[in-house]
């Protein structure tokens, strides 16, 4: 462990660290553009220059390794002057179009100018004219006037996606980011380029001119679109209820987690946010004789309780069926197992899942549900949904709308017509809606609390990133309400009043989750 001094502060740091990383660990930020923790140091922006005692020139913090006894100055007059110099150079050829730039508010060039610049421009010359709307990728637009040539995008395509679609073309002041053979950046990770661009050079066509960064509320969540469990931020307009055709979520961004997704997410996950606002169930309804009658959850709960009590009394629990999916949280699946299998002894518990996709060899997994591993660990044995087995049931509780994706509407209708009462708990509309008696809107994972277990067995807890706007009820609450109303094992269920409380019980009972 070399002992070093940064701005007079004595630090013991791990050998092999760069000065920049060592400083970061001590809470000292050294400004940088081209450095990114996921890439090999590039050293081209020259923003991270620091003074190291005994060396004649300023040195790069991003590439210089710490050495025993090294004395680093990050705020000496020489360093400050060099930083100003770099900013002055970058801003000289920058269009300064922050008022119409989507990066404004989260732009390193803006931030650093506020912090280290604040000079009057001496630039009296004509700026270079460059392409401002170059189609770089499927969803990416490159503004070459804003580009500071940090080459983070090029290095991402070389080192991370390994698709190598782009490079630097031309020389000197005419250098520019370009694609080879006029092809687009086209891979499942392209959206990361807009995120790692430190300025507004690469913007997401999907986000361009839609809102300002400072209007957005940034909340942590877990991507539910495959079993990887990538950590994400969901950026939304606060106070924007889900009104038809208005936008609540503006973008999804990667949230760093070295154990799961490093700094990245895939485009499939990133651009899936339309799902959060589109095609959602909005009202709890009773579908009676072709008409939707609004109902409250209390009322539905009452009807359900009566029907199940009746089946228990008549010893006809075998005529109760439940269909699940593995996008439910660990807590919900745990409650489902406890209530239906252990307390009520329901035999007919089935699974209806979204169809699997193709794994892409990096983050995106073939399994397109968020919690299949959690379901396995909880040990809720089920059969895959089979229509023939459903006919003749008195009551069917359907969680999720995925049946609609697996069977034809005619087959579904034929089968469900032979079930007396069908209750659908779904977040999204589907052809199933017309075939059931009650539709209860439920939140998506971004709108609820709980935890998911990713394909590697990592249990990741999350809190709501968005408000749940439907008049339905989260599945965990529906299950708890039902258990409490049925008065099965009152002592067990009574203290459970939140996903956190359920999580405690889960951890106590299943060692995997401890």
Partner 1 sequence: MEEKVLTRLFGVEGITRLDVYRREGGYKAVEKALEKMKPAEVMEEVKKASLRGRGGAGFPAGVKWGFVPQNVPKPKYLCVNADEGEPGTFKDRYLMSHNPHQLLEGIIIASYAVGIHAAFIYIRGEYEAIAQRLEEAIAEASGNGYLGKNILGTEFDLDVVVHRGAGAYICGEETALLESLEGKRGHPRLKPPFPASIGLFQCPTVINNVETLSNVPSIIQNGADWFLKKGLPKDGGTRIFGVSGMVKKPGIYELPVGTNLRAIIFEYAGGMKDGKELKAVIPGGMSAPILKADEIDLPMDGDSVVDAGSMLGSAGIIVIDRETSILDVLKTVAKFYAHESCGQCTPCRIGTSWINKIVGRLAGGEGEKSDLDTIIHLASNIKGTTLCPLGDAAALPILSICQKFRRELEGYLPHA
- Site for partner 1 contains 470 (CB under 8 A): no
- Site for partner 1 contains 63 (CB under 8 A): yes
118-125: long-range contacts at Cβ-Cβ below 8 A with a sequence spacing of 24 or more?
A: 119/84, 119/87, 119/88, 121/88, 121/91, 121/92, 122/88, 123/91, 123/92, 125/92
Residue 57 or 245: the one with the smaller Cβ distance to partner 1 is 57
Q: Closest Cα partner for 463 from 448, 453, 442?
A: 448
Rounded to the nearest whole angstrom, what is the least distance from the CB of residue 96 to partner 1 in the complex? 14
Rounded to the nearest whole angstrom, what is the least distance from the CB of residue 40 to partner 1 in the complex? 9
Integer Cα distance of 505 and 483 in angstroms: 15
- Site for partner 1 contains 119 (CB under 8 A): no
Residue 58 or 466: the one with the smaller Cβ distance to partner 1 is 58
Rounded to the nearest whole angstrom, what is the least distance from the CB of residue 175 to partner 1 in the complex? 3
- The size of the interface with partner 1 (CB under 8 A), counted in residues, is 37
Residue 175 or 262: the one with the smaller Cβ distance to partner 1 is 175
Within 168-197, the residues that bind partner 1 by CB under 8 A are: 168, 170-175
Rounded to the nearest whole angstrom, what is the least distance from the CB of residue 162 to partner 1 in the complex? 17
Beta strand ranges found along 39-179 (DSSP E): 49-52, 59-60, 71-73, 134-135, 140-142, 166-169, 176-179
Rounded to the nearest whole angstrom, what is the least distance from the CB of residue 458 to partner 1 in the complex? 36
Within 377-396, the residues that bind partner 1 by CB under 8 A are: none
The DSSP code sequence of 139-171 is SEEE-TTT-----HHHHIIIIIS----EEEES-
Cβ contacts of residue 191 below 8 Å, gap of 6+?
139, 140, 204, 265, 266, 267, 270, 271
Q: Are 375 and 333 in contact, with CB atoms under 8 Å apart?
A: yes
Residue 284, Cβ density class (10 Å: 0-12 exposed, 13-18 middle, ≥19 buried): buried
Residue 86 or 455: the one with the smaller Cβ distance to partner 1 is 86
Integer Cα distance of 453 and 259 in angstroms: 13
Site string (29-58) toward partner 1, x via CB under 8 A = ------------xxxxxxx-x-------xx
Q: Are strands 166-169 and 176-179 parallel, antiparallel or unpaired?
A: antiparallel
Rounded to the nearest whole angstrom, what is the least distance from the CB of residue 132 to partner 1 in the complex? 19
Q: Are strands 459-462 and 450-453 parallel, antiparallel or unpaired?
A: antiparallel
Q: Closest Cα partner for 88 from 124, 141, 133?
A: 124
Rounded to the nearest whole angstrom, what is the least distance from the CB of residue 119 to partner 1 in the complex? 11
Stretch of residues binding partner 1 (CB under 8 A), selected from 7-15, 164-172, 177-185, 242-250: 164-172
The half-sphere exposure of 393 on its side-chain side, counting CA atoms within 13 A, is 28
Residue 153 or 412: the one with the smaller Cβ distance to partner 1 is 153
Residue 90 or 300: the one with the smaller Cβ distance to partner 1 is 90
The DSSP secondary-structure symbol of 207 reads T
Question: What are the distances in angstroms from CA 366 to CA 253, 273, 372, 400, 407?
Answer: 21, 19, 12, 19, 20
Rounded to the nearest whole angstrom, what is the least distance from the CB of residue 170 to partner 1 in the complex? 7
Residue 126 or 182: the one with the smaller Cβ distance to partner 1 is 126
Binding residue for partner 1, selected from 82, 344, 426, 440, defined by CB under 8 A: 82
Residue 45 or 480: the one with the smaller Cβ distance to partner 1 is 45
The DSSP code sequence of 365-396 is -S--SS-HHHHHHHT---EE--GGGTTT-SEE
Rounded to the nearest whole angstrom, what is the least distance from the CB of residue 121 to partner 1 in the complex? 11
Residue 126 or 358: the one with the smaller Cβ distance to partner 1 is 126
Integer Cα distance of 206 and 270 in angstroms: 11
Residue 57 or 129: the one with the smaller Cβ distance to partner 1 is 57
Stretch of residues binding partner 1 (CB under 8 A), selected from 124-132, 236-244, 307-315, 428-436: 124-132
Binding residue for partner 1, selected from 93, 106, 360, 500, defined by CB under 8 A: 93
Binding residue for partner 1, selected from 109, 140, 147, 148, defined by CB under 8 A: 148
Residues in the chain: 514
- Site for partner 1 contains 2 (CB under 8 A): no
Q: What residues make contact with partner 1 under the rule CB under 8 A?
A: 41-47, 49, 57-58, 60, 63, 81-82, 85-86, 88-90, 92-93, 122-126, 128, 148-149, 167-168, 170-175
């Amino acid at each position: 462990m070399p002992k070093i001094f940064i701005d007079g502060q004595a630090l013991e740091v791990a050998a092999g660290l760069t000065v920049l990383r060592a400083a970061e660990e001590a809470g000292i930020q050294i400004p940088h553009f081209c450095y990114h923790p996921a890439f090999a140091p590039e050293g081209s922006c020259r923003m991270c220059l620091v003074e190291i005692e005994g060396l004649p020139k300023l040195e790069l913090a991003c590439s210089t390794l710490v050495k025993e006894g090294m004395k680093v100055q990050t705020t000496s007059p020489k360093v400050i002057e060099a930083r100003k110099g770099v900013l002055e150079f970058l801003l000289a050829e920058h269009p300064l179009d922050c008022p119409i730039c989507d990066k404004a508010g989260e732009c390193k060039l803006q931030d650093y100018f506020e912090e280290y610049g604040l000079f009057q421009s001496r630039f009296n010359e004509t700026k270079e004219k460059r392409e401002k709307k170059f189609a770089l990728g499927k969803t990416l637009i490159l503004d070459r006037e804003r580009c500071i040539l940090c080459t983070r995008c090029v290095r991402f395509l070389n080192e991370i996606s390994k698709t190598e679609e782009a490079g630097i073309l031309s020389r000197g002041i005419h250098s520019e980011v370009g694609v080879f053979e006029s092809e687009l950046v086209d891979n499942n990770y392209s959206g990361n380029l807009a995120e790692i661009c430190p300025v507004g050079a690469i913007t997401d066509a999907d986000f361009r001119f839609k809102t300002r960064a400072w209007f957005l509320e940034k909340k942590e969540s877990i991507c539910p679109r495959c079993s990887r469990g990538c950590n994400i931020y969901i950026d939304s307009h606060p106070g924007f209820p889900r009104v038809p055709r208005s936008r609540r979520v503006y973008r999804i961004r990667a949230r760093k987690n070295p154990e799961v997704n490093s700094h990245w997410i895939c485009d499939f996950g990133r651009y899936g946010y339309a799902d959060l606002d589109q095609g959602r169930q909005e009202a709890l309804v009773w579908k009676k004789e072709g008409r939707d009658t609004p109902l409250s959850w209390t009322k539905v709960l009452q009807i359900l309780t009566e029907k199940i009590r009746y089946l228990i009394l008549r010893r006809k629990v075998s005529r109760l069926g439940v269909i699940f999916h593995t996008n439910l949280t660990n807590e919900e699946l745990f409650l489902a197992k406890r209530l239906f299998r252990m307390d009520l002894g329901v035999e007919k518990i089935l699974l209806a899942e979204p169809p699997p996709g193709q794994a892409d060899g990096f983050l995106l997994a073939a399994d397109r549900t968020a919690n299949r591993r959690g379901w396995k660990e909880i040990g809720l044995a089920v059969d895959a949904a089979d229509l023939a087995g459903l006919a003749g049931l008195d009551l069917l509780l359907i969680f999720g709308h995925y049946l609609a994706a697996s069977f034809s509407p005619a087959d579904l209708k034929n089968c469900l017509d032979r079930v007396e009462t069908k209750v659908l708990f779904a977040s999204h509309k589907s052809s199933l809606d017309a075939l059931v008696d009650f539709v209860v809107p439920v939140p998506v994972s971004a709108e609820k609390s709980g935890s998911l277990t990713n394909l590697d067995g990592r249990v990741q807890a999350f809190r709501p990133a968005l408000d749940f706007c439907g008049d339905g009820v989260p599945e965990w609450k529906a299950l708890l309400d039902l258990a409490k109303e049925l008065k099965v094992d009152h002592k067990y269920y009574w203290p459970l009043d939140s996903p956190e409380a359920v999580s405690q019980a889960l951890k106590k009972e299943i060692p995997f989750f401890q």
